[in-house]
């Protein structure tokens, strides 16, 4: 479908106030009606995000942003890139865009009633397919690049290793001995698909987990945080955001299989020849360290001489993963610096040994020499809770660091990159 007419653009922009008022009502009904008509899509959409309304709110926000920027879609390019990576990791296909488009317009018609004039519905139909065509084209190219991996692949858990009282690593190897593992970009993720019997009729559910080791191994490693207080099999916990991670911890063991997607993700580190001496600062909180561990391990294995600073926040030593590995690298590599924050250290922990600074991550308390803020080329990678990343980004900007040198892993549904 071609570009929107000037009249259609004007019509779409006129609906911005309507979306602000009714957007969540529209998207909530849209998902409910679509999943009744197409129950097979329950295997695609995150059950937790459906039950909590998170997915409906995210789509409402996306529709609002699309309408508000309909005459300058370049502002949405980072968001489109993020969504396309998510879609390809779930093997979304063009035919599913037909289903979504049909139900979205029908829901607008129902919710808005007489306010949904033919002019508005026609404009939104054209606008939907303008965006859908962009995304289908981008995803088609990504599928071509990964054509040897056209659908879910069965992987065996060959090793399951506890990294802390919350985080466990799963080492995954393909059951197909002929499948060549890709040289993914450090920072990217895979989707892991498991069958949840407790959901009505049994439903496949996929979740994205950052790869936590350098590429080039015979395995793919993910390191998954277990949310406490959740009992697998108990109906009341099925909609909890941590249910699938608990299922992996409790029900999946060495020798079991899971279905895995090709690695994707728009958050990654990429080595460039002209940046080989540029400092890299990796800042994480909690399980956000996983994607950054992949970047760290990649730099170490490449014997990079660039300055590397690892700043990580955790509650205490019991919840901090991989510290022994980072400390060992810091001892043997003079270009590596580590800074550990503990918000609630245990009584037996010793400052300077188990952690460096008491409290949450605060860059004002970090030696400025290892932040390399005075180097106009330093690259910063952030991963952790959304508000944590936004706060750290704001602090870096206050040091005069441009947003172009700060990359964040905004992961869940509705996570929108800086635009």
| 3 state SS of 129 | helix
CATH code, 280-409: 3.40.50.80
Phi-psi group of 212: left, alpha or beta (phi > 0 → left; psi -120 to 50 → alpha; rest → beta): alpha
Looking at residue 1, its pLDDT comes to 57
Neighbours of 366 (CB within 10 A): 20
Q: Can you list the residues of the chain whose pLDDT is less than 50? A: 412-419
**What residues pair up with 192 in beta bridges, in sequence order?**
207, 260
Neighbours of 356 (CB within 10 A): 17
Kindly state the tokens that stand for 383. 């991963």
Which sequence spans correspond to the domains of the chain? 6-146, 153-264, 280-409
Neighbours of 87 (CB within 10 A): 20
| Chosen CATH of 153-264 out of 1.10.10.10, 3.30.230.80, 2.40.30.10, 3.30.70.660 | 2.40.30.10
| Helices then strands, each counted (H, E), the chain | 12, 12
One DSSP character per residue, 151-168 reads S-EEEEEEEEEE-SSSEE
Looking at residue 414, its pLDDT comes to 42
Looking at residue 271, its pLDDT comes to 85
Closest CA to 65 of 28, 101, 4, 23: 23
Looking at residue 418, its pLDDT comes to 44
Q: Pairing between strand 406-408 and 379-383? A: parallel
Looking at residue 2, its pLDDT comes to 64
Cα 299 off chain centre by: 22
Q: Give the integer Cα–Cα distance in Å for 190 and 14.
A: 39
Q: Which residue has the tokens 């409402």?
A: 60
Buried-exposed string 287-302: b where 16+ CB fall within 10 A, e elsewhere: bbbbbbbbbbbbbbee
| 3 state SS of 311 | strand
Q: Give the integer Cα–Cα distance in Å for 160 and 164.
A: 12
Closest CA to 130 of 266, 12, 264: 12
Supply the DSSP symbol for 272.
Answer: -
Calculate the alpha carbon distances from 241 to 51, 53, 244, 318 in Å. Answer: 10, 12, 8, 22
Buried-exposed string 70-81: b where 16+ CB fall within 10 A, e elsewhere: beeeeebeebbe
- Which residues are designated catalytic? 97, 139
Q: Give the integer Cα–Cα distance in Å for 392 and 375.
A: 18
Q: Give the integer Cα–Cα distance in Å for 405 and 276.
A: 15
pTM for the whole thing?
Answer: 0.94
Would you identify the CATH topology of the domain 6-146? Globin-like (1.10.490)
**What residues pair up with 211 in beta bridges, in sequence order?**
222
Kindly state the tokens that stand for 333. 């590599």
| 3 state SS of 44 | coil
Kindly state the tokens that stand for 78. 């980072």
């Amino acid at each position: 479908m071609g570009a929107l007419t000037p009249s259609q653009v004007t019509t779409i922009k006129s609906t911005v106030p309507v979306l602000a008022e009714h957007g969540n009502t529209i998207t909530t009904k849209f998902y409910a009606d679509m999943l009744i008509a197409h129950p097979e899509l329950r295997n695609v959409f995150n059950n937790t995000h459906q039950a909590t309304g998170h997915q409906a709110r995210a789509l409402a926000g996306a529709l609002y942003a699309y309408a508000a920027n309909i005459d300058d879609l370049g502002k949405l390019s980072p968001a489109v890139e993020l969504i396309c990576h998510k879609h390809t990791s779930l093997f979304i296909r063009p035919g599913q865009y037909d289903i979504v488009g049909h139900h979205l317009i029908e829901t607008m018609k129902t919710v808005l009633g007489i306010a949904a004039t033919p002019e508005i519905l026609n404009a939104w139909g054209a606008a939907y397919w303008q965006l859908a065509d962009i995304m289908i084209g981008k995803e088609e190219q990504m599928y071509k690049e990964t054509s040897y991996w056209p659908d879910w692949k069965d992987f065996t858990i060959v090793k399951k290793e506890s990294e802390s009282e919350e985080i466990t690593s799963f080492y995954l190897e393909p059951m197909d001995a002929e499948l060549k593992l890709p040289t993914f970009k450090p920072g990217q993720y895979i989707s892991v698909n498991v069958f949840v019997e407790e959901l009505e009729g049994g439903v496949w559910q996929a979740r994205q987990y950052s790869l936590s080791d350098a590429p080039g191994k015979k395995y793919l490693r993910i390191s998954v945080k277990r949310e406490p207080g959740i009992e697998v099999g108990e109906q009341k916990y099925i909609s909890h955001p941590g249910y699938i991670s608990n299922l992996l911890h409790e029900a999946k063991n060495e020798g079991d299989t899971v279905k895995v997607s090709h690695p994707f993700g728009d958050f990654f580190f990429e080595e460039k020849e002209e940046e080989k001496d540029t400092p890299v600062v990796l800042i994480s909180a909690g399980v956000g360290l996983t994607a950054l561990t992949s970047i760290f391990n990649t730099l170490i294995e490449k014997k990079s001489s660039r300055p590397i600073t690892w700043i990580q926040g955790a509650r205490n030593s019991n919840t901090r993963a991989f510290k022994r590995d980072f400390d060992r690298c810091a001892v043997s590599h003079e270009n590596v610096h580590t800074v550990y924050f503990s918000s609630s250290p245990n009584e037996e922990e010793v400052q300077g040994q188990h952690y460096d600074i008491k409290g949450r991550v605060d860059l004002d308390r970090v030696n400025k020499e290892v932040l390399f803020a005075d180097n106009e080329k330093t690259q910063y990678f952030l991963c952790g809770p959304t508000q944590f990343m936004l706060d750290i980004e704001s602090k870096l900007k206050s040091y005069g660091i441009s947003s172009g040198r700060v990359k964040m892993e905004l992961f869940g549904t509705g996570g929108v990159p800086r635009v």
